[in-house]
Amino acid sequence: MNRTLTETETTALLTEQLYGHLGCTMDDGRVYIVPMTFAYRDNALYSFTYTGQKIEMLRRHPAACFQTEQFLREGTWDSVIVWGRYEEIPEAEHMQAIEILTERLQREEGRATSALYNELLPKKKDLSNGRERVFFRIHIEEKTGLRVQND
């Protein structure tokens, strides 16, 4: 039996999750979906990446869609879908974005999050292949959640 998540459950899922999938639109109308590490705060999703195809698309078409999920047990999961607008975070606000992302990463354990954390810090070695690091947020305009339960 499926049911719609409450606002509290939807917000909790966004707060608890670290990974999701970002959808953006290509010039020809096709949808491009990529995995994304994120932190949720103040009705926005915060993230960072390096310049490339995804950033170029979002700069031209700032409408974005995002999805994350949590598997609860076999046949049961919660999923949230968000629609919003892409905004690059100005350099003057980069430290605030780093703090938001760092705070979220510190709640996780493991090598994958340590590597992500290291990417946030000033570079000792440039791993970006010369691409510019971009901090951004998706301002949430609408969101919905669903619990799927196949018992």
Task: Answer whether 91's CB lies under 8 Å from 149's CB.
Answer: no
CATH number of the domain that residue 85 is part of: 2.30.110.10
pTM of the model as a whole: 0.87
Q: How many CA atoms lie within 13 A of 25 on its CB side?
A: 13
Domain residues for the domain of 19 are 3-149
> Above 80 in pLDDT, residue 67?
yes
* Tens digits of residue pLDDT in 29-53: 999 999 999 999 999 999 999 999 9
Compute and round to an integer the Cα radius of gyration of the chain: 16
Task: Answer whether 116's CB lies under 8 Å from 110's CB.
Answer: no
Average pLDDT over residues 83-110: 88
Q: What are the start-end ranges of the E strands in 74-132? A: 76-88
Beta bridge partners of 108: none
How many domains, the chain?
A: 1
> Above 70 in pLDDT, residue 117?
no
| Nearest to 69, CA basis, from 58, 86, 54, 81 | 81
pLDDT for 125:
43
